[in-house]
Structure 1
Amino acid sequence: MGNPARGAGRLAQDTGAQVLLTTFNEALAEGLARKLPLLAGEDVRARITVRALGSLISDLHAERFGETGIASEDEIRSLLRDGAATSDVSFTDDFLHDEWSLVVDAWDIRDLDTYRDLPRLGRKVRMPAARRDAAWMIFDGVRAQLGARGMKTNAQLAHDLSETGAFPFTHAVIDEAQDISVPELRLLGKSLGDTPNGLFFAGDIGQRIFRAPFPWAAAGVEIRGRSRSLKVNYRTSHQIRRYSDDLLPETLVEPDGTEENRLGITSVFDGETPEIHSFDTREDELEAVNAWLGKLEQTGVPNNEVVCLVRMSKLSVEIGPRLPVRVMPMHEAKGAEYRAVAVLALDQDIVPLEDRLMSANDEARLDEIMNTERHLLYVAASRARDHLWISGVIPVSEFLTDILQ
């Protein structure tokens, strides 16, 4: 079942099946839904629910427990800062947020003993016992404040459902599974992990940009010995795939030992060699890419089949009026594909994003940020089917240097 939509259709052939076909956001879920009529008849489609996993969990929680207020990231950060202000131990805002989101909230830690003895799931640096105790006082205070306000986090919605068994599906097919969160995976594992053919995951470790890696086995889903890598690329030309792959190491390994060897992958068609450039100024870069876009249009590639990708929303606003094609942040292109893609502004302080690097609390966190930034550029470049342009202003990103060599 290499194609998630086709896999869902196959599972739904069983008249007793209720199949969930899901992914991490609404736009991608809509794309999967559009493919279903091409792959399954109306009677089979009636047994398939296509939803983004986060919104589905929210709706199922509301059905079971009633409407619940969801705490935003800003509200969580504010509560963490309030707790830190009363602590005798100094913590940075980013450390507390990461520790809360990657450990305490993600793994549903509810007491000090569990937190004190917890292996560093999602975090790689040991914390002295006294410092951990002080951190727990802050996190426990956040939990109490949320409870007093009748609010929960999105992670807590999934944890609540995990305890009830209120998951009305016999099978789940998960697309873009590399970006699944710990609470979402735990819910799926508890609900369908013991069901024959209950869970099917499709993903690409190289495209993991929204979630920190974590051991799937610890979340109750064991995939070692039950997974395989697909080696034929039907979406991008041989030339674009080769340049995109140069952005990643030959082998990617997740913490649970899942390994993806990226050697031996082949594309089924050839195309134009990607254009890779560096410029002295942004003006020079935009002038050159406009000329490239004009040539594409003359050869039959209309502007509505081309996109320009940049690292930040701010850049898309600045550059957008200067180009005749849609300009958007790289992460918004996840799961999409275009005949031609221009990836611009790969400057040294933009990719990897300097502000993210400065927020790193330790070497392990810095490594993770560098990895996700590299994966984000890989996602951007691999959105192109036939034509790819990559450029930046000198001094250019070290990632661009990798493929200029």
Structure 2
Amino acid sequence: MEFRIADTFTDSLARLTGQEQKAAKTTAFDLQLDPAANGLSFHKLDRAKDSNFWSVRVNADIRIIIHRTTASILLVYVDHHDDAYKWAERRKIERHPTTGAMQLVEVRERVEEVEIFKPKEVAAPTPTAEPAVRLFDNLRKFELMAFGVPEEWVNDVRAATEDTLFDIIEHLPQEAQEALLKLAVGEKPAPPEPAPVEADPFAHPDAQRRFRVLTNAEELKQALDYPWDKWAVFLHPAQADLVERSFTGPTRVSGSAGTGKTIVALHRAVHLARVNPDATVLLTTFSKALANSLRVKLASLVAGEPVIAARIVVKAISSVGYDLYSERFGQPQIAAPAVIRSLIAKAASEVEGHRFSAHFLVGEWEDVVDAWQLRSWDEYRDVSRLGRKTRIGGKQRETLWAIFERVRAGLVERRVVTWSDVFGRL
């Protein structure tokens, strides 16, 4: 019998108190060890729309909701008795008829309006507002279902406007949310290939976003110890492919915010450390704050594997540069921005005949002279300034170089360097 966990279980577990979490985890381990154990108290949920929903008693008040079939047990939700039952009564787990992915579907509540007699009131006519534009009214039922929209939510989606879209999509599976948001802004995402009828609906890539098979107690422990870090457990197959693929050289993974690039980087670092037992892996970023966050996440991802953790270095790229420079040339003294601005202002006051603003001079230094590590008039004369809005001629360049040459001399005199000097020398 397969033992699975849903991301909704880890979400709900995180909302319990520490003692309640501990009790729920113990029951979950008992379920995995022996689902038929005498000490487990199962109760079938008669009012649930899904006939496979059962509750398992944790203690006098806490209940785990499971989806139980002859082939598998799925941990779905955990909460206080009444709240757990209400949650289960409004949901069902089913195979999507078009995509073939197993989904956790929120049951659409239907409210019938009963007309009540009221005295007729005549009001002054008011200007009628333009009806709101329906975002998906041009799409037919089968087209929306191809993106994973549950059948019972199709009419609501077709009626969605800019004002109601986010209220509706929060009730839908993630793949449907993503597709609708792309459609709403004018993109044309391609619907996924439908899975064959005989395929396992839990093996569908979209299903693996929310359900995971746990093969042993260690995997369950990781899932329950870090319930707020779903990225450590629920990798999408597209992410897993990037994590484990063999590349022949440098590789760029691109995507908009929230698509999981950082998740892939973390798992990739761990994977490389595991398959290369003699190597040290560097995971780096431009932000020190993000590097600190990655270090914490890495600790949870490789908890219990100190040998792997010891071979992964997480640092901001500035820290990497600083350490390498210190090893080779001695500890660098980095010039503060205020010092550089002061040097530029002083040099500008010493060079006659220029009309450049302080703002322009600082930008030219940062984006051209320092960034490209220009150290001679010939280099500055020939460098391309593509992207710089202010166009300058040859005489102007000569004047500017007279200023920047003094700035360079001032840095040497003070025995300070810029970050571009550090990385340029390295």
Q: Would the TM-score normalized by the shorter structure come out above 0.5? A: no
TM-score normalised per structure 2? 0.36
Structure with larger RCO (C-alpha < 8 A, sep 6+): 1
TM-score normalised per structure 1? 0.38
Structure (1 or 2) with the larger CA radius of gyration: 2
